[in-house]
Structures are given as C-alpha cells and as structure tokens.
Structure 1
Amino acid sequence: CLLKAARVFMVFEILEKSGEIVKSKPSVEQLENEDFDEVFTVVLITKEEASSLEAKVMKVSEVDRVDIHPVTGVSLPKGQSPSESMDDSAVSAAPKENRKAEAAPQKGRRAVNAHNANKTIRVNIDRLDILMNLFEELVIDRGRLQSIASELHNPDLNETVERMTRVSGDLQNIILNMRMIPVETVFNRFPKMVRQLARDLDKKINLEIIGAETELDRTVIDEIGDPLVHLIRNALDHGIESPAERLAKGKPEEGTVTLRAYHSGNHVFIELEDDGAGIDKDRVLQKALERGVVTEEMAATLTDRQIAELILSSGFSTAEKITDVSGRGVGLDVVKSTIESLGGYITIDSKEGQGSLFQVQLPLTLSIISVMLVNLDKDIYAIPLSSIIETAIIQTSDILNAHNQKVIDFRGSIVPLVNLKDIFEMEGAKEEEELQSVVIVRKGDRMAGLIVDSFIGQQEIVLKSLGNYLQSVFAISGATILGNGQVALIVDCNALIK
C-alpha cells in the first residue's frame, strides 16, 4: 500500500471521533514512520456498535480487513477505573488476538486528546527568558512609580499605580507559570537507574514516585537532577539493607524508596524516604571526630538530627570499601552546596533501624523574590522573606554573652546574634542605644538574629547576579535595583548561619 502512514492517520481520525484510543501496537511513532508490516492493533474505549465502527474504518481506501473484539475478563485492582486498566490488560490481549484492530465497548471518557493537542504551541526558551527580563524591568519601574506616588499624594496617580500593580502582579504569575515544568521530567530517569543499581548491589528495591506533576521553575529543574541522583544512590547503597539482613530484622525482603514532591507556600518540597537501616549515629560521630569535622566538646552537645546532617560535610563517607556506587567521599556535600546555591536547604530525619527521610526545600522561582528591606547606615540591604521567621526590637540589656558570642533568648531558644555592620566592615553599631532592631532568620533548624539599624518594609524585587568579577563576595547572593534607582545588596542568610 502506498502512503501507509497516511492510511493509519485516517483510521485514527475515525476512531478518535468514536471514542478514546488507549493504546496502539506498534506505537504511534512507529506507525507514523511506517515501521510496521501490514497489521496494527488499536485499543479503543467506545460506546459505538462494532458493526458501525467496522463500516466507518472500511471506508478508508486500501484497508483490507477490520477485526473487532471486545476485551473482557479483565480483573481490576481496587480503586482503578476501566480506562486506567485498559492500558495494560488490552495490550496483553493484543498478541492473543493476532494484532487485529479491536475495540472495548466500555463506558469511558470521550476523546478530548485530539482537541487539546491543537491548543498548545512550542516556544523557544530564549524568548521566555527575554520576556522575563523585560518584565523584571517593569517590576523595577513599578517600584519607582510606587515611591513617586507615595511622595506626591495625588489620588488619581495612587489609583492608577494600584491598578497597574494589580495587573502586573497577574502578568507576573502568568509569566512565571509559563516557565514552570513538571518535576517528572527529572523523575522519569530514576526507575531505570534504581533497577540497574538494585541489580548491581544484589538488593530488591521498589521505587515509588508521588507528585511527579508538581511544577518547578526551569532554572531549578536544570540544576536539581544531579543532587537527586546522589541522594538516591546513597539511599540504595547505605540505606536499604540486603534481602537476608532485612528478613533477619523481620522486614519484608523488598525495600521501598519513596520519592515525593509537593508544593507548600512559596516553596517546593522534594522528599526521599527509605525504610532501610537509618543512619548509624555512633559510626557517623566517630568518623566525624576522626576527620576533625567536629571536636569532642561539640560532639557532646549535638542532637540526633545534627549528627545525621554531619554526613553532608565535605569529603565525608562511612563506606567500608570504595565501590562504583560509594566510598569516594564525593556526593552529599555536592548535594548540599547545589541546593543552597538555589536558595533552598536540605534536612535529614533518621531513625536507626527504621529508615531515613531526606527533605529538600526549594524556592518556586529564582528571578523575582519577596524581601525585607533594612537600613545599615545610609545603605539599604535586602533579606529574602523565605529565610525570615520574624523581626523584633530587643533591649540591649537582654543581649547575653556565651562562648565569646552575643546571643539572645528568643522564645526559649538561644539564638546567636550577627551584627551585619561587622560582617560588611562598616562603622560599628552604637552600643549605647537602648533598643536594637533584629531580623530572626533560619536555615533548616538553625537560627540567627541579624542586627540592623532599622526596617524599611517588604517589597518584591528582581534578583540580579553580581557578575563574574564579584563571585566570591561573602554573605551577598546578588543585588537589585530599587524604585529610586539605588542598588541594594541581597544578604545570603545561608552563608551567615554556616
């Protein structure tokens, strides 16, 4: 037959109007490339009679024969609809029926796939980046307009600026959503990797993926793949025990690793949980002392979670022997630094003998962020709201000294104080002032209080990098242009708490 692919397309057109196509054998790509002999099988969910369906398909020229068979006797797992199960059951039925066109008269959803396919367009990512840059300039000008309006007190101007702020806010959401990509683009490569590693390690492991449809900004998606590979390799090698060990502990032979993603507030959380051996705290502490990561005095005061997080230290490995999978001392410190460079952080919760939970928190988007503007002398600095717990004004007399470090008692927790003027080598704070303005920030479960001169307020700003010449400036993650044209530096709270 000439133009086989065209005939196939015509058959598909007819079938899609009659119901929902679930599966074809060979695949659609193979059919389009004419990579088949004379027969192909289609699984269809439809309410139409077999005879009318056959008549319609036979109208396509050069179709020799149409055989239609109902797919029956399929047992469904609990909670699964017919349309979901057809995918597997009908495929297994296809070879038995000798790859003849078949239809399942099941009550299913109508075909909307073809209709929806026409509603999407492909846009080069560079164009989206240009659009984002233009919008960032608009955000800067919006800030400028707001500051002018607040000085002039003109009701008409105020009303127009408020309306513009609302509209540009909606526009911002649309542009950011356009850049969002489901994390399944990263997650999809893990099942094969887990199967391969489980074979290499001679372990039985089941990988569960939850929330793969959760969306993240493209810039974050590009960076997050490698850290997750390291975390999964670590869970498979160090976390899950061998089948014999698991049976001896009364656990099922097959270990389970769960990878889940979900939104919460302005962040995306990615969690990797395993039901393995957990982290051997004594062994980790002993190794950390050998390597000089912690001192004896520090070791005595560490909580279980802090001990678990020692495995994120540079060059740290508890593997007995060096293998392809682990023991090279490379891995989890790379994970930590990559995640922190994206403005996120990682925490570890582990119960010995029961398993571990690695939780990665990431910002939804990287280019436009909400910050708290603060004054240091005549300079303005921005502190990201995602790091701030709260702001407070404290009495100078409440500041205590512990181990040559100024601290305060904040709601029952001892929080170290960091004077930003000292960090940025500005003129020292006036000690005689009775009250001090403090911003309480956190990274994971660790907190710090940043002493500033005064608070200005909250604002959305555009994050600009400092360029190649200023890569290694301590505690500064970037800069922004404010409404009045002044440049404000953005404080990197992660570096300060480190």
Structure 2
Amino acid sequence: MESSSLPELTGLFLDEVEEQLQIMEQEILKLEQYGESEETIQSLFRAAHTLKGSSATMGFDEMKRLTHELEHVLDRLRNRHLRATKSLINLLFKGLDQLRVLKAEFAEGVGTYTEIGPLLEELQHAADGEADPVEGRNEVPEAFLFTGDPAIVSKVQDALESGLKVYEIEVHLSPDCPMKSARGLVIHNQLDAWGDLLEAAPTLEELRREESFSFTALRFLLATDADPSRLKEALLSLMDITDVTVSNYHPLKQSHRFERMSIPSDEPEKRTISPTIAERGRGAQTIRVDVERLENLMNLVGELVIDQTRISQVERVLHHRYLSDENVDELRHITDHLIRVIVELQDSVMKVRMLPIEQLFTRFPRMVRDLAQSLKKEVDLVIEGGETELDRTVIEEITDPLIHLIRNAVDHGIEPAEERKRLGKTTKGRLRIRAAHEENQVVITVEDDGAGIDPVKMKESARLKGIITEEELKRLSDQEAVYLIFRPGFSTASSVSDISGRGVGMDIVRNHIEKLNGVIDIESKPGEGTRFKIKLPLTLAIITGLLIKLSGRTFILPMSSVVEIVRMPPEAVQTIKGDTVVVIRDRVLPVIWLHDYFHLPRVPQKKNHHPIVVVGIAEKRFALMVDELMGNQEVVVKSLGTYIGKVVGISGATILGDGRVALILETAGIDQLIRRKW
C-alpha cells in the first residue's frame, strides 16, 4: 500500500508508529539502567507487537519483518533464554534507529527502503544466543531479577542500613544434572549459610515439594558481607553448576515528578523514572486533531480578540455620548458577556495548543546516553518538570537550542571520570534539565556540574580573536566576560569536536531564543559547573504587550522583555564620553531614542518627568525613551508577510481596538540596530 493512497489512514499510522517508538526508546533505556524487569520487557514486547500488526495492516513489509525479529529477540529475553548484555542493548537501539529510518521513508513515499537484511541477520543470531549473551559476567552488573516488590524492598533497605550488601545471584545447572531438586536444596542451604536469603526462585518449599524440575537456573536475593567473587567461586566449586552470576541489587521505583538516567554507573543509588507514555495514557479519552485545524482555530480566535477590543472601545464611546440611553446600557451588558466568553474561548484554544514539554524531553536520555558512551564519560541525567505545558510552536522552535546546550554540556562541560576523580569530584557527572512555570513564562534550565566557564580564559580568548578591544576588556567584569560566549565566532575550545564546541554556535542559540521573545542567562563558577536559564513566553500567537507612542505612532513592546517602567526628570539623563546614559537603581544604562532608528522626529516633553522603559536581553539592559505610555493589553501577533519580509526590530503587527495597525517591536532586533549604529 502506497503511503499516499489513504492520507488519513497514513497519518494515523505514522502517529501510532511514533508513539510506539517513543515507548520502545524509554523501555530500552530502562532495560539498560535497571536490568531485566518483567514489566519493562513486556512493555517492549507489546510495542514491537503493536508495530508489527500496524505495519502489516498498511502493507509495510520492511517494518513488519524488522519488528517480527525484534519481537522474537524480546520473547527470548522474556523467557530468560537471553541476557540484557551491553551488546544486546546496543542491537535493540540499532533496531529502533532503523525503524525510525523506515518510518521517515514511508512518510516521504519514496517507494524504496533502506536494506534491512544485515540487521535481520544480526537479530536472528542474537535470538539464537550468538550475540555474546554472557558479556561482562566477570564484573558485578546491575540487578535485573526482582523488580520492586514492597516487602522485598523493605528487607533490602533493612539489610543495607545494617551495613550488608545485597546481591542477586543466578546459578545455571548442567542440562544433564540427574537430581535438580536435590542440587537446588544444596545451593539454597549453601547461600543461607553465607548470609540472609531474602528471596529465592524456586522457593525452598517448591524444591522440597517437587520430585523433578525442568528448570536449568535458580535465582536468589542474598544479603551478606561476603565478597561477591568468593560467593561465585564457592558456588562454582559445587557439582553440576555451569555458570554463576552475582549482581548488585537496586529496587526499581516510579515517580511522576522526574526521570533519571545514569550512563554508565557502578555505584548503588536510588533511581527514579517517569511512567511510560502508554502508562500515562491509560484512562485518558483523547482524539488526534490535524495541526492545521488548530492553527486555523487559533487564527479565528485571534480575530475575535481583535474584535473584542474594538467592540469595547465603541461601547465606551457610546456610553459617554449617550449616558441615559437604555440601549447603550444593554450594549454594555452584552459586551461584558461577550468579552468573558471570548476570554474563556481563547483560554480553551490556548490549552488545546499546549503540550507537555516532556514530549521534547523524552529525546534527551537516548541522546545523552550515546554522547556519554562515545566520549567515554559517566553522566547522570536528571529531568524535572516534564509535565510543564508549552505552546507546540514554541516547543518546536526551542528544540535545536536545547540540543546544542546539552551536547555542549556533555562534550565540554562535564570532565572525564579520571579528571573528575583528580579534582575530588564524583566520577559521574550530573546534567540536570528542568522546566517550570514562572508567572506567565516557562523557565527551562540546563545545568551541569562540570568545569564551568573561566572568565579569565574568556577574556584572553576574546582578546586574541580581536572580538573585544583592550579598553573594553579592562572595563569588563567577570560576569560580563562569561557572556562573551554569545559573541559570533567565539570559542575557548582548543579543538572543535564533531559533537560540539563550547561557544561555537552559541550566538545562534541566543538569537534563536530571542526571536521567540525569550531571554537566556548564564550562571557559572569555574570548577563547579554552569547553568543556562531560558525564559520563554507560553505562546507566540497572543502576547501581552506594552503600548507606547513615538511621534504620535503606536508601537507594542512584548512585556516579557520589559524589566521596569520609570519616570525621571529631564536632568537625570546625562552624557558621558559622548554617550547618553541614565542611572537607575545604581546602574548606568544607555539611553536609546527609538525615534532615531525609525526616522521619526523627537517630540519635546511638556511634562516634568519623562517615561522610560527599561528593556532586558540576557545580561544587557538599556533604557528606551518613549513619548507616552498607553497601558498593556493582549494582542494577536500577525506576520508581516512575504511581501514586506523581515524587518530588523519588528517581529510582526497587530490590529488595535480603533482598527489601526500597530507594529510589534522585537527586542533582539532593536539591540542589533543599536550595535549597527554604534
């Protein structure tokens, strides 16, 4: 079946594939971190089975064949015929990546697909046990047998608090062992003598009750102070035992607040992960809606918001003109009700456009895992606030900047394990990504505990590259030096890797964020780490704007860029070395007349106090001189269109209540205009 033959069915199929691929990625990461829990493997198996059925229905043979082989491997894993070794995990990720490629090719309708024969052979060999199923057994790997039973967890915690170690032990018997029950009892008694046997499969009662077994492996949970290598050696010395695995035990827990991933880790610690997409979706009643329909609905609501403003203005005029007219009073009541309905409608449509930012955050664990492995680093990824909602358009636009910041943090922020150990840090670096609502904005932080940004090196690098003059360098504080990272072409890296170069492209990151009417700040301490803090508006479609007048014309400043509004006497504006400045709260700020940049005449002020709007971009602050402040209101952002194109300093336009068009100022663009003139 061609992907273009049934567009609606194809769209539903692709949505289903993407959802199942996300589940598979999350579950493979869990499998790597926490071992072979029955729940994780079953969830993986269900996802692969669902994809196989869906692709078969669509006549997508390549995906059906690949998911069939993945399903076979997972079935072998589920039945304990295979082990979740590093090579098998990597093979599952390889299969997942190939499924994404096939999905993209199907969506494009190319008709021909990437050759999957070699990968199918790899999966077949793995299912037959030819993919190094016992890799790494000389070490003490992470546990995978018992998965969070509250009674077991309580026993484990009591044992750990008393200073004991807790191990999962798997003992493989020879297939031709004549008395498996008797041999099982011997092993059981031997382990019981070494410590406190918390759990066993089969249990002691089952071993005594049955005369014969078809099993070839026994599994135990043991609390002991014995050395794991001595345990293994003692068990291997018994007859009819072919192999023994001793593993650290960590109970698997779940939380809705944040998810965590370690790559790699040999240290026991509490870990928390978020529920899968399938788990979150249980019980929810949802339908899929085409994005274009949502966009059209948002545009119609935007038109209503404009008309609401105009109706309110007309009502006020009529009310003042005809005070005693009952019809005007009735119009006021109708207008008030209409405004309430439009506000509620606007809020509802905005919520429909909102998506949890977790849909973006789910991409990062796999990315960080692959980066850490390729760089041979140990990284502990903590993700918080995935439930924070943001406009889907903003999520799409912020993806690339966030990926760049994360790759920089892993590549150049977090030091290698040996270096961290030498510095007295834990060998495992910490990378924290967090989202939260603050007032009418979303704040996203990307924080690492790596090397930090050294302001001395920043200044020296900027001087050598000619980015800053010697005179500017002398006036530069350490905090301001850190922000040099956003200058075009700036980098402190001695060599730029194919992953990232800290500083390379950071100017693009900031420009991208500022185009969203957002702000990015940096906090960094050498040797302790770096935090990037991004503030974004909830939506780009409707913003709260400050209405200002310049030479009789109305302009709108996004409130997200406004730091404060003050009124100052004319004598407060001073000139220092040819630059006009004003001192506000003990800080010297450059004064900007937007009139000059938009070729408008300055209007002499008749009042004793001049209105000044302080605007902020990252660490920068400047004071805008305006003729008049007209209050703030919600405005619908309209594009200038391809005919006019991009205008520096202008992000769009809106229609005011009186029907006139007002231009919406872009703070980042104003900053560019200022730099050009200077």
The TM-score normalised by the length of structure 2 is 0.58
In structure 2, the partner of 1:27 is 45
The alignment covers a number of residue pairs equal to 423
Amino acid at match of 2:443: F
Q: Name the CA distance, whole Å, in 1 between partners of 2:624 and 2:633.
A: 19
Residue by residue, what CA displacement relative to the aligned partner does 1:222-260 show, whole Å, maximum 9, x if unpaired?
111111111011111221111111111111111111111
Amino acid at match of 2:424: G
In structure 2, the partner of 1:298 is 472
Q: 1:198 to 1:112 in 2, by over 3 A?
A: closer
Of residues 454, 465, 468 in structure 2, which corresponds to 1:280? 454
Equivalent residues of 1:421, 1:429 under 8 A apart: no
Q: How does 1:48-87 map to 2 (within 5 A)?
A: 74-75=152-153
Equivalent residues of 2:408, 2:501 under 8 A apart: no
Q: Name the CA distance, whole Å, in 2 between partners of 1:313 and 1:179.
A: 34
Q: Name the CA distance, whole Å, in 2 between partners of 1:243 and 1:460.
A: 51
In structure 1, the partner of 2:594 is 420
Of residues 334, 341, 350 in structure 2, which corresponds to 1:176? 350
Q: 1:432 to 1:176 in 2, by over 3 A?
A: closer
Amino acid at match of 2:432: T
Q: Name the CA distance, whole Å, in 1 between partners of 2:43 and 2:606.
A: 81
Q: Name the CA distance, whole Å, in 2 between partners of 1:115 and 1:275.
A: 37
Query: Secondary structure, in 3 states, of the residue corresponding to 1:74?
Result: helix
Stretch deviating more after TM superposition (250-259 or 406-415): 406-415
Q: Name the CA distance, whole Å, in 2 between partners of 1:220 and 1:342.
A: 7
Equivalent residues of 1:371, 1:459 under 8 A apart: yes
Query: Secondary structure, in 3 states, of the residue corresponding to 2:152?
Result: coil
Q: 1:463 to 1:249 in 2, by over 3 A?
A: same
Q: Name the CA distance, whole Å, in 1 between partners of 2:280 and 2:497.
A: 47
Q: How does 1:401-440 map to 2 (within 5 A)?
A: 401-430=575-604, 434-440=608-614
In structure 2, the partner of 1:160 is 334
In structure 2, the partner of 1:482 is 656
Q: 1:72 to 1:152 in 2, by over 3 A?
A: closer
Of residues 626, 640, 648 in structure 2, which corresponds to 1:452? 626
Equivalent residues of 1:256, 1:275 under 8 A apart: yes
Equivalent residues of 1:447, 1:497 under 8 A apart: no
Q: 1:222 to 1:26 in 2, by over 3 A?
A: closer
Aligned-pair CA distance for 1:71: 6.6
In structure 1, the partner of 2:308 is 142
Residue by residue, what CA displacement relative to the aligned partner does 1:39-97 show, whole Å, maximum 9, x if unpaired?
9989xxxxxxxxxxxxxxxxxxxxxxxxxxx978632698xxxxxxxxxx9xxx9x999
Query: Secondary structure, in 3 states, of the residue corresponding to 2:498?
Result: coil
Aligned-pair CA distance for 1:329: 6.3
Q: 1:75 to 1:142 in 2, by over 3 A?
A: same
Bigger RCO (CA 8 Å, 6+ sep) = 1
Amino acid at match of 1:147: Q
Amino acid at match of 1:136: G
Q: How does 1:14-413 map to 2 (within 5 A)?
A: 24=42, 27-32=45-50, 33=52, 74-75=152-153, 116-117=283-284, 119-153=285-319, 154-327=328-501, 330-413=504-587
Q: Name the CA distance, whole Å, in 2 between partners of 1:365 and 1:397.
A: 40
Equivalent residues of 2:388, 2:435 under 8 A apart: yes
In structure 2, the partner of 1:463 is 637
Q: 1:114 to 1:330 in 2, by over 3 A?
A: closer
Equivalent residues of 1:448, 1:497 under 8 A apart: no
Amino acid at match of 2:312: Q
Q: CA RMSD in A?
A: 2.9
Q: Name the CA distance, whole Å, in 2 between partners of 1:112 and 1:202.
A: 33
Amino acid at match of 2:297: L
Q: Name the CA distance, whole Å, in 1 between partners of 2:44 and 2:453.
A: 47
Q: 1:272 to 1:133 in 2, by over 3 A?
A: same
Amino acid at match of 1:429: V
Amino acid at match of 1:75: V
Q: 1:72 to 1:462 in 2, by over 3 A?
A: closer
Structure 2: gaps spanning 5 or more residues: 1-37, 54-67, 80-147, 158-167, 169-198, 203-213, 216-277, 320-327, 673-678
Aligned-pair CA distance for 1:333: 1.5
Q: 1:315 to 1:216 in 2, by over 3 A?
A: same
Aligned-pair CA distance for 1:193: 1.4
Query: Secondary structure, in 3 states, of the residue corresponding to 2:580?
Result: strand
Amino acid at match of 1:271: T
Amino acid at match of 1:459: Q
Structure 1: gaps spanning 5 or more residues: 1-20, 43-69, 79-88, 99-110
In structure 1, the partner of 2:111 is none
Q: Name the CA distance, whole Å, in 2 between partners of 1:25 and 1:143.
A: 52
Query: Secondary structure, in 3 states, of the residue corresponding to 2:153?
Result: coil
In structure 2, the partner of 1:496 is 670
Equivalent residues of 1:227, 1:338 under 8 A apart: yes
Equivalent residues of 2:353, 2:392 under 8 A apart: yes
Q: 1:486 to 1:285 in 2, by over 3 A?
A: same
Stretch deviating more after TM superposition (243-252 or 464-473): 464-473
Equivalent residues of 2:517, 2:667 under 8 A apart: no
Aligned-pair CA distance for 1:320: 1.1
Q: 1:156 to 1:331 in 2, by over 3 A?
A: same
Equivalent residues of 2:612, 2:625 under 8 A apart: yes
Amino acid at match of 1:28: R
Q: 1:251 to 1:375 in 2, by over 3 A?
A: same
Residue by residue, what CA displacement relative to the aligned partner does 1:267-311 show, whole Å, maximum 9, x if unpaired?
111101111111121111111112222211222222222211111
Equivalent residues of 2:480, 2:619 under 8 A apart: no
In structure 2, the partner of 1:83 is none
Q: 1:114 to 1:263 in 2, by over 3 A?
A: closer
Query: Secondary structure, in 3 states, of the residue corresponding to 2:509?
Result: helix
Q: Name the CA distance, whole Å, in 1 between partners of 2:281 and 2:622.
A: 55
Equivalent residues of 1:261, 1:269 under 8 A apart: yes
Of residues 598, 604, 615 in structure 2, which corresponds to 1:441? 615
Aligned-pair CA distance for 1:389: 2.6
Q: 1:200 to 1:115 in 2, by over 3 A?
A: closer
Query: Secondary structure, in 3 states, of the residue corresponding to 1:75?
Result: helix
Of all paired residues, the percent bearing the same amino acid is: 40
Q: 1:321 to 1:220 in 2, by over 3 A?
A: same
Equivalent residues of 1:237, 1:326 under 8 A apart: yes
Equivalent residues of 1:211, 1:260 under 8 A apart: yes
Amino acid at match of 1:228: L
Equivalent residues of 2:568, 2:612 under 8 A apart: yes
Q: 1:71 to 1:419 in 2, by over 3 A?
A: closer
Aligned-pair CA distance for 1:113: 7.7
